Structure 1
Amino acid sequence: MVLIASALFFIAYRSIDIPEPNSEYLTQTTHVYYADGETDLGEFAIQRRDPVGLEEMPDTLKDAVVAAEDQTFWTNEGIDPKGILRAAFTNASGGVTQGASTITQQYVKILYLTQERTWKRKVKEAILSLKIQNQYSKEEVLEGYLNTIYFGRGAYGVQAAAQAYFKVDAKDLNLKQSAVLAAVLNDPNDLDPANGKAARSELKGRYQYVVNSMVEMDAISEDDGNRAYDKLPKFPEPDAEQAYEGQRGHVLQMVRKELLRLGFNEQEISGGGLEVTTTFTKKAMDAAKDGQAAIRPPSLGYKNLHVGIATVEPGSGAVRGIYAGQDYLLSQLNWAVEGGQAGSTFKPFALAAGIKAGFSLEDTFEGNSPFTTENGYTVGNQGDTDYGRPNLIAATESSINTAFIDLTTSMENGPQEIIDTAVDMGIPPAEAPKKDAWGFPTSTPGLEANEQVALGSQTVSPINMANAYATIANGGVAAEPYIIEKVVDQDGETRYDHKVQDHEALSEDIAADVSYAMEQVVETGTGAAAMSGFAWPAAGKTGTATNAADEVSSSWYAGFTAQYATAVMYVRGDGDDGLDGYLEPFYGGEFPAKTWRAVMDTVMAGEEPIELPEPVFVDGEAPEEGHAPYTPPPSPTKTRNTDRPDPDDSTDSSPTGDPTTPTGDPTTPTGDPTTPTGDPTTPTGDPTTQQTQPTTRGTGGQGGQGRQGRQVGRRRRAGHHGRRTTLT
């Protein structure tokens, strides 16, 4: 009988080869770091595992595991014959196969076999264990085992376990900590000390068994054993297992998408042991999260009121911080990426285009409301305010809609020039050249060449808005935004190292003039109240846009210092719901500007104040024929419609009636909120149309204040026949 069994075993031994390891046990955790390359931001893992060499494991750990799991490990042949016979007998009698496997057998079962409990699997386990024993040294087997076995808390291998239980590296484990990790191997879930008094009591019994076994094996002295025996070590509070909670999930999804775009596959990302250094700084990330929390109304929940924030570094395009909105576990919509209608934050692109086309900051444009173009499009200022003939500095400072429409239509092919300038500066085109797989949008829905393009009905993400404003801060040189700085693989080879991709979008002189006009918004214009006392020279622009119900649906403030550009956006619901009566006051100079201030106070802490450039007053060859000389009124005044509060500024998304140029519908996110990487929902409703004539007309204008220059404008005023829209 023994001869027959031996013959069968020999045949089986010859016929069974060592198979390929189970793929999940060859994976390593991919670590994602902040920009310093050291501070953990998050991780991607099929199994959380960080292999370390046997030489990096303390002797106390190796001895404790051998004492707990296989005291004959260093002398046995890799199998437990008695255990195999017991398993066969128990199975034959209808029972369940028992354990008593050696460390080698456990390693084989994990690495090569399934977890089924049959005598056939047990025999195969024994054969493979013998082959492994003959092919690898004991040290190699123990190292593989200790980097593979599950310790609980999602940790595979001793390095992950040391961090999970004690927040130390494996090499720094002491005797007590080593004995605990060896003890929990017996039942990782039920012996977790975080699971209550009963679990801790069970763990203590197993722990004391391990300590006694180490003494019996002469791995430690009796005195050391006595000192360790009575009490378990101290356990830090375990980390929450929600690896994607809060803002971390939003950031990790952006990083995952960017890695895919850069050519890494899912297997490499989730199990390739990559070391990914991002552009995000903890300082800027915390500033965005804390800044919005400090300013947003506490009575308005995170479910409906969404804040999107992005901070970009001029010159490099590095995205340093974002705030995506609600906790990722509750909503996967990232409002720093999805964006909303830009409103008057789009006007600086029209200003830059106008100066490129030959106009000057000192040129004056139509500031009275309403104003009708030759094509019949009528626009109004907020409250139907009259400003006379403001120059472009005053028009930017007070966000005068009529002046920017006059500028747009005074340029040859003005709408397209504005779009081209915006795209050059960092606003993506209307359609991405290829499938949008980046960690941020590469298209701008609604970016259409119509007369009201400067008023911002297109959907822009805070990341792209901040990056485009960073172009102004960087003297007109635009850089591609990016979020991954470097990727190193598990062998230490650099797989990706970012190189700044930039180009000149504006001349340095034009950028200086645009910056100067935007400084007036901060100093005396629509953003002045929120910016009072800000310690660094800054420039910015407020913005609001309205939906089909003539309700303000997005509210913005975007601006920059010499060091950073930040954009803040407030939206509600699906991005097109009204803020009127919900967020009061709802203009860009209020909550968005105050949030920007709170964010940038933290981001800029420790930075030197750097003056923004002086204006050059670039003056080209823009047409002047046909214009009467401008005479400022003796006492410029503003008379506003009192139906609505005095705004910072506000823009509508479309004209009344049927203009001859397309107006486009308001657009929003391109993500599906039900999945982390999907496309956003599309808002309801059409762009706003307002047909009500104002009840009050102003008599003066702001144009008489400050620099005055040549008068520009060839368009019809209200009173001529033409369709009209008053923007709010």
Structure 2
Amino acid sequence: MFSLKNLLKISFIVIFLLSLATFILYLNLRDELPNVNSLKDVQWQTPMQIYSSDGLLISQFGEKKREPIPLEQVPQQLIDALLATEDDRFYLHFGVDPIGMTRAVLGQLMGQNKGGASTITMQVARNFFLTREQTYIRKIREIFLSFHIESLLTKDEILSLYINKIALGHRTFGFAAAAQVYYGKELSELSLAQIAVLAGLPKAPSTLNPIRSPQRAKARRNVVLQRMLVSDYISEEEYLEAKSAPITAKKHGAEIELDAPYVAEMAHQKMLERYGKEQAYTNGYKVYTTVSAKLQTAAQQAVTENLFNYDQRHGYRGAIASLRAKNNEQDQQSDTSIAITPLSSEEIEQTLNSVVSYQNLIPAVVTKVDEQSVEITLKNQQIAQINWPGLSWARAFISDQKQDTPPKTAGEILQYGDVILVVQNPNGDYKLSQLPQASAAMVSISPDNGAIQAAVGGFSFKQSQFNRVTQAKRQVGSNIKPFIYSAALENGYTLASLVNDAPINQWDKSAGIVWRPKNSPETYAGPMRVRLALAQSKNVIAVRLLKSVGLDNIIDHLSAFGFSPDELPRNESLALGSASLTPLEVATGFATFANGGFLIEPYLIDRIENSEGEVVYQANPALACQPCTSEVEPLLEPTKVETNKLKPTQIKEAERVISPQNAFLIADALNSAIWGADWSVADGWQGTGWRARTLNRRDIAGKTGTTNEAKDAWFSGFSKHLVTTSWIGFDDPSRNLGQTVYNNNLGKNQITGKEFGAKSAQPAWIAFMKVALEDQNVEPFEPPAEIVSVRIDKATGKLTTSTNKTSQFEYFKLGTAPTEYVSQDSSSDILDGSGTKQEEELF
């Protein structure tokens, strides 16, 4: 029998040998161990976030969800829960817990699982530098690294690293991100029961998370609560209350505050170009765009509502599906005896959950059909009613050109068991609806510096990620005419020049046919002043102007507005809008008229901040001003500290591409497209954009655009500080926008007839500008220097002394005003489009 002295000797020898073996093992592994000094300056891999100009979150990009927070912002109950569960002697040991390690080793020797004895420090070592493989050599490396970490960092620093680094399931890293994903809350807002659920996740986040395995999560939560109770972190009363709480976790995404997915994707792509995928997704950049919540929301609503209106006036295409069909045998015996098996609540719920809906469309099932109303069941067995005002629009769709007769009863539209889409009106009533088949886009920019104020690339990003604002090159129709007329003003024409509005018959040698461009509508007024021709969008006059100026000169002039000359057709159809441009390109061109002649470059990102809130990029756009002030400070959020501000940036002046006189004359003529080109005509139609008069703003200008066969419809218009382009059409180029006939069930203000820019695209523009301009003062387009105004005769464009309806004032660039007074016979004063007096029709 060993004496105590011998036992001590043997123990000493064993400890010495173990220590020597450990030291030798450390020497062998030392060179393989990672350098833990990097923990002193950890760069957290946090996702990129996109914001509006007023600080609302639009979207978040990055696989890893993490929101690093300092330890002082971590709730004490979470710290207590982690210490009680993961490492109750954390503040006492030196990285390795001897008691826990001994217990784990003895357990292994006895064939019992006593835990892995991993301290919080060891878990930090594993999470930052090692893998989760279950090997002894990994465990030894983990221990050695823990010693290094403890010598380098304080306990609080180690705990902070752990709280922000640990993986907690559903691609969340750190407890702040987990609180958002599982509960949609900040850490400080969690209850004790919810904190305990999160504190139980590090053991096995995939099998214990409360979304995938609520029962296991509950059992693990109760273990955490029990350990907190034993460690005196909580009272018996708190323990019992938290233990009895239900599991309330569910998947939450980033808390999006502004729905602008097309804007988010535009910014996303710009960030990838600037920083590359790895940096953009992990460096925690905050990207502040130029769009505002107010204008973006208004644009989204305008596009959506306009698409619904267009789609519904063309007719109802029927239910998505039918859950019940008529019993054919009984139907043959009697028209009134139809056997229909009642729908079960399970069948309805299952069907509704399977329907994909977009925007504000809500899936529903028809569960009762009355004379002029239907009862519908929504998700969660909610019962609602669609009354006749919400149904009466739904005459059957036959084709884009034709609709069936208006319905008189609900049974002509819907049947029991029909699966449909509905929308809820602001007053709470429901209306039958459907997913629009047409597409649309809207973009609004500042003509002062190119900042994109709003952008909507389609009906729904979920339905189609194709951004029609920047990616859809569509024929622009008459939206091209202001640029043609601008070239004409640079080549001898004035707004008072007369050009013959008469049919053209021109032999095309290359095609072997006669080219006959036509007006729309196909009416001709004879000699017409240029101002009135632009306002009324006369096609043949645009062609005559192009021929007079010359195709090469026209293309050179159009390229000054940012249009690529290589993408402009080199034939006379250019005057009718055969060029294909994106809505953003069109809006950029129109901005030159709004800002007095400068070419601005559209931009979306105002500034970029890093994860520390420091501004690492600030936009410095060229400004439409001449001369400009010498310096300008970039705008930052008022909440940002002064140290975040970038140094004042030297201002950049935008390039002037047309004279201020040319820009003003075209802008004023486009104002006539809305308000009329003849003061003496009170209510007569004088311009294609007259519907915008509902805005009651005299400081707006605009131009409609419709392509051949109405495949595309446009309206582009502006005030002095906002340019907006609206487009509508089908992604399928074989379809045109068609036409509609009067629906007797609807009011007198409905749109009927052939679709074109003023009917199809302009309503969205009007709806948006009504919101966008409501806080802006009226600012008329003021004549610049070297613009004169003289009274002219409306029939000839010559000077006149008459003050009756035959005359009006007109603007001219200095030196271009007429010098002759009108004579009694003015027939020889008509210009034919080549700049010479007309003696006979040339074409």
Asked if these proteins are the same fold (TM beyond 0.5), I'd say yes
Q: Using the TM superposition, give the Cα deviation of residue 337 of structure 1 relative to its aligned residue in structure 2, in angstroms.
A: 0.8
Structure 2 residue 756 is matched with structure 1 residue 587: yes
8 Å Cα contact 1:313-1:563 kept in structure 2: yes
Give CA-to-partner distance per residue, 1:262-305, whole Å, 9 cap, x none: x3232221111112111122222222221122121145876852
Letter in 2 for 1:531: A
Q: Using the TM superposition, give the Cα deviation of residue 429 of structure 1 relative to its aligned residue in structure 2, in angstroms.
A: 1.8
Mapped partners of 2:235, 2:181: distance in 1:
28
Letter in 1 for 2:452: V
Aligned match of 1:429 in 557, 560, 564? 564
1:305 aligns to what?
A: 438
1:452 aligns to what?
A: 573
Moved more, 490-499 or 159-168: 159-168
1:514 aligns to what?
A: 666
Give CA-to-partner distance per residue, 1:530-581, whole Å, 9 cap, x none: 42412433211111223xxxx3321111111233211111121345643336
2:621 aligns to what?
A: 500
Structure 2 residue 262 is matched with structure 1 residue 278: no
8 Å Cα contact 1:370-1:384 kept in structure 2: no
Matches within 5 A, 1:355-370: 355-370=489-504
Mapped partners of 1:70, 1:190: distance in 2:
21
- Going from structure 1 to structure 2, the CA distance change for 1:172 and 1:240 (only over 3 Å counts) comes to closer
8 Å Cα contact 1:246-1:328 kept in structure 2: no
Give CA-to-partner distance per residue, 1:407-426, whole Å, 9 cap, x none: 12222xx434433443433x
User: Higher strand share goes to which structure?
Assistant: 2
Aligned match of 2:716 in 546, 558, 562? 558
Identity of aligned residues (%): 25
2:138 aligns to what?
A: 121
Aligned match of 1:394 in 528, 532, 542? 532
Aligned match of 1:73 in 85, 90, 101? 90
Letter in 2 for 1:543: G
1:255 aligns to what?
A: 267
Structure 2 residue 543 is matched with structure 1 residue 531: no
1:568 aligns to what?
A: 726
Mapped partners of 2:618, 2:604: distance in 1:
12
Give CA-to-partner distance per residue, 1:407-465, whole Å, 9 cap, x none: 12222xx434433443433x34246xxxxxxxxxxxxxx32443332322222111222
2:589 aligns to what?
A: 468
1:680 aligns to what?
A: none
Letter in 1 for 2:560: D
Mapped partners of 2:161, 2:537: distance in 1:
67
- Going from structure 1 to structure 2, the CA distance change for 1:97 and 1:30 (only over 3 Å counts) comes to farther
Give CA-to-partner distance per residue, 1:194-234, whole Å, 9 cap, x none: 55xxx444434333332332232233445554554432597
- Going from structure 1 to structure 2, the CA distance change for 1:419 and 1:221 (only over 3 Å counts) comes to farther
Mapped partners of 1:275, 1:478: distance in 2:
29
Letter in 2 for 1:112: F
Q: Using the TM superposition, give the Cα deviation of residue 142 of structure 1 relative to its aligned residue in structure 2, in angstroms.
A: 0.9
- Going from structure 1 to structure 2, the CA distance change for 1:244 and 1:89 (only over 3 Å counts) comes to farther
Mapped partners of 1:87, 1:505: distance in 2:
83
Q: Using the TM superposition, give the Cα deviation of residue 592 of structure 1 relative to its aligned residue in structure 2, in angstroms.
A: 0.6
8 Å Cα contact 1:147-1:157 kept in structure 2: yes
Q: Using the TM superposition, give the Cα deviation of residue 377 of structure 1 relative to its aligned residue in structure 2, in angstroms.
A: 5.8
Structure 2 residue 244 is matched with structure 1 residue 230: yes
- Going from structure 1 to structure 2, the CA distance change for 1:84 and 1:404 (only over 3 Å counts) comes to farther
- Going from structure 1 to structure 2, the CA distance change for 1:453 and 1:202 (only over 3 Å counts) comes to same
Mapped partners of 1:408, 1:113: distance in 2:
72
Mapped partners of 2:121, 2:187: distance in 1:
21
8 Å Cα contact 2:500-2:830 kept in structure 1: no
Q: Using the TM superposition, give the Cα deviation of residue 77 of structure 1 relative to its aligned residue in structure 2, in angstroms.
A: 3.3
SS at 1:152 equivalent: coil
Give CA-to-partner distance per residue, 1:588-619, whole Å, 9 cap, x none: 11121112122222333433333344699969
2:706 aligns to what?
A: 544
Mapped partners of 1:628, 1:599: distance in 2:
37
Mapped partners of 2:457, 2:294: distance in 1:
16
Mapped partners of 2:132, 2:438: distance in 1:
49
8 Å Cα contact 1:309-1:336 kept in structure 2: yes
2:222 aligns to what?
A: 208
Mapped partners of 2:255, 2:706: distance in 1:
36
2:34 aligns to what?
A: 19
Larger Rg: 2
1:409 aligns to what?
A: 547
Moved more, 99-108 or 144-153: 99-108
Please, which runs of 5 or more residues in structure 2 have no aligned partner?
1-13, 318-433, 623-653, 676-684, 741-751, 790-795, 800-805, 807-827
SS at 1:72 equivalent: coil
- Going from structure 1 to structure 2, the CA distance change for 1:585 and 1:529 (only over 3 Å counts) comes to farther
- Going from structure 1 to structure 2, the CA distance change for 1:454 and 1:69 (only over 3 Å counts) comes to farther
Moved more, 270-279 or 54-63: 54-63
Letter in 1 for 2:53: A
1:29 aligns to what?
A: 47
SS at 1:150 equivalent: coil
Mapped partners of 1:345, 1:113: distance in 2:
62
SS at 1:453 equivalent: helix
Q: CA RMSD in A?
A: 4.1
SS at 1:179 equivalent: helix
Structure 2 residue 778 is matched with structure 1 residue 609: yes
8 Å Cα contact 1:307-1:335 kept in structure 2: yes
TM-score (norm 2): 0.65
1:109 aligns to what?
A: 126
